[in-house]
């Protein structure tokens, strides 16, 4: 049985060597192959450009958040130095306004994905006003403060969602 296997291996090796010798080594790829290669290269370049654009947007977003955190820290620092107590409602509102402004500046050149997003934002601002009115009577109420924080976060999420560039490509 081992002689049979060796014989088959030698026959196969001879057949393979003969077949390789008879191949035409000057076969040119078809034009469709080159078009496919060009598309693949262009696709990689476009993906790299998109990745770079997304990285710039992420960097701008982080800078906006960092700026708003710095503004909040500055507000707290000034309040502590002046000896006055920091009103959590004012501090939260100032932080939110800074973040909202930064987002709106970041997305000013991008079209919104929906037309009615400003109506939704106005509804959230109405809820914000109602919570602030309730906080005038009970400014230390943790539930109301949490609700105000959630409304602010919903507003920021709405702005991000309607301008998110990754959703425009789907």
pLDDT digit string (tens) for 60-119?
666 666 666 666 666 656 655 655 555 778 888 888 888 888 888 888 888 888 888 889
User: Is residue 42 one of the residues assigned to a domain?
Assistant: no
User: Is residue 4 one of the residues assigned to a domain?
Assistant: no
User: Is residue 1 one of the residues assigned to a domain?
Assistant: no
Domain that holds residue 148: 47-168
Confidence of residue 42 (pLDDT cuts 50, 70, 90): confident
More confident residue, 18 or 97: 97
User: Is residue 137 one of the residues assigned to a domain?
Assistant: yes
User: Is residue 162 one of the residues assigned to a domain?
Assistant: yes
What pLDDT does 167 receive?
45
Q: How many structural domains does the chain have?
A: 1
127 pLDDT higher than 90: yes
Q: Global pTM?
A: 0.50
Contacts of 137 (CB under 8 A, 6+ apart): none
User: Is residue 118 one of the residues assigned to a domain?
Assistant: yes
As a whole number of angstroms, the distance between CA 108 and CA 101 comes to: 10
More confident residue, 71 or 134: 134
User: Is residue 40 one of the residues assigned to a domain?
Assistant: no
User: Is residue 31 one of the residues assigned to a domain?
Assistant: no
What pLDDT does 93 receive?
86
Question: Comparing C-alpha atoms, which of 109, 125, 124 is closest to residue 163?
Answer: 109
């Amino acid at each position: 049985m081992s002689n049979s296997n060796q014989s088959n291996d030698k026959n196969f090796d001879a057949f393979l060597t003969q077949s390789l010798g008879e191949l035409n080594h000057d076969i040119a790829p078809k034009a469709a192959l080159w078009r496919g290669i060009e598309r693949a290269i262009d696709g990689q370049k476009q993906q790299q450009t998109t990745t770079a654009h997304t990285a710039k947007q992420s960097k701008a977003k982080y800078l906006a958040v960092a700026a708003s955190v710095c503004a909040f820290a500055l507000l707290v620092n000034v309040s502590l130095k002046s000896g006055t107590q920091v009103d959590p409602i004012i501090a939260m509102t100032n932080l939110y306004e800074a973040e909202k402004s930064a987002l709106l500046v970041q997305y000013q050149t991008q079209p919104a994905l929906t037309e009615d997003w400003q109506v939704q934002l106005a509804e959230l601002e109405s809820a914000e006003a109602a919570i602030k009115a309730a906080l005038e009577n009970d400014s230390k109420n943790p539930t109301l403060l949490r609700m105000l924080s959630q409304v602010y976060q919903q507003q920021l999420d709405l702005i991000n969602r309607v301008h998110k560039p990754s959703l425009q490509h789907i």
